[in-house]
Amino acid sequence: MDSQTVTRQQNVQDPPTAGKLKSNALGVVGILFFVLSAQAPLTGIAGALPISVALGNGAGAPAGYAVAGAVIFLFSVGFVAMGRHVVDAGAFYTYIGKGLGRTTGTGSAGVALFAYCTIQAAMYGLYGSLVSGLVAQYTGLDAPWWVWTVVTMAIVQVLGAAGIEMGAKVLAVFVLAEFSILLVFALVTLIKGGGPQGLGFAESFSPKAALGAPGVALMFAVASMFGFEATAIYGEEAREPKKTVPRATYLSVVVVTGFFAFTSWMLVSAYGASHATAAAGKALEGGDGVVFVISPVADLFGGWAGEVLPILLATSLFAGILAFHNSANRYLFSLGREGVLPRKLCTLNRRHSPGAAGTVQTALALLLVVPFALLGKDPVLSLFSWFSGVAVLAMMLLYFLTSVSVIVFFRRERLDTRPWNTLIAPTLGALGIGGAIWVILANFTTLIGGSAGTATWLALSVPAVLVLSAAAARVVRARSAAAA
């Protein structure tokens, strides 16, 4: 038998693991920018803080970010411990599968894809609405929101196919812009000693303030942390992943928590602790909660800031959309490589990026957005609100399953015997995340801004995706085994 025949037979018989993403492409900073982009800091602050202050803890809303950050940090300890032994673009489903079995792991892959695709679709809705207004304001061109959404889908597709380094560079520019203006505002406010009632530290961070009415504030704080887990997704493309990924994970949790807690505290301080709730409520009643954030920044820096912030909000959303495109297509790539989905999904383009998976991801985004456009639904009140809520719930379920899987995996394999990393922190993280899920479900109608009926079927869609994905994976494996 000649060597070419042997090679052809090996290619047929080997599992679809030959496709490998470009290694040594990202360092700690590059991964951090992808995470911060997924967080969309300006979107998180401008979208969530007014609701948290008006309907939640009032001046104590910043404490919600600190509590959420502590829970996520506990989760990340076990997440990082697992990452030292498992490096794969599938991240969540690989981690969960290692501890809770392949069927549960594959079911969680469906949930992860569901989460990333719905949060991206949600961002497309808000982005399209915002850009449509900005274009009309500055050019007089009045086009429907979905036109700009579809145009942006094409741009995201091109950038995603251009390679991970190109995406990191684009995101770095946008993230630095939105971080800078809010951080400078917060630092100047701090140096000035706060607003009319001082810094108001106790009013925002004391136990009494934190526990006043924590449900809504904690729910939106947890939602703002969405995306930090992307550090593990890029492990295959990282330089020295066993060092880079843990550093990027811990750094992202600290940076994101610190940024949200500090910036929200300074915004509350700018109004005065006793006036912040009324100001947030007034902004929401006016139909534009973003004003709650824009007004004090514009008062401090001048009218130009009020003009620039809406543009930065649009670029913040674009950065988040691109980040979630990259996360979702790497899940599709990994599932194709494992043979769970069609193997063409693990095809790499000339830039060593998952080109086929990226195209499918863009098609999924289009499939999720188009019905809202055809039915004439509001892109913010329906598309953004509904899908962002269900995505957060789906991600919390993945966090919980991952924490449990970490505990089970290390009890069985004994590859890492450190109690804090493999038992105590994951257990505390699982309890904290379980509590967050309860809070989210209890306030889910508020989170999605819809009716109780809509909230119910959206919430039920998450376990339904888990069960259906696991069942489909078992059928695929059974057919593959029968064919072999």
For the stretch 36-66, pLDDT in tens is 766 677 878 887 888 888 877 788 889 888 8
**Residue partners of 286: CB distance under 8 A and separation at least 6:** none
Asked if residues 416 and 79 have their Cβ atoms less than 8 Å apart, the reply is: no
Nearest-angstrom CA–CA distance, 350 and 314:
31
Distance of alpha carbon 240 from alpha carbon 231, whole angstroms? 13
Per-residue model confidence as pLDDT tens digits over 295-344:
999 999 888 888 888 888 888 888 888 888 888 888 888 788 777 788 88
pLDDT score, position 270? 94
| Helix/strand/coil for 238 | strand
How far apart, in whole angstroms, are the C-alpha atoms of residue 40 and residue 120? 11
Give the rounded distance of the alpha carbon of 167 from its chain centre: 16
Reduced to 3 states (helix: H, G, I; strand: E, B; else coil), residue 36 is: helix
Higher pLDDT, residue 178 or 62: 62
364: tokens are: 């999924």
What is the torsional sign of CA 222, 227, 228, 230? positive
Q: Which residue type sits at 52?
A: S
pLDDT at position 166 is 57
Q: Looking at residue 425, what is its pLDDT?
A: 94
Beta bridge partners of 340: none
Structure tokens at 48: 């969530």
CA 172 – CA 323 distance, rounded (Å) = 11
pLDDT one-digit tens code per residue, 30-42: 677 667 766 677 8
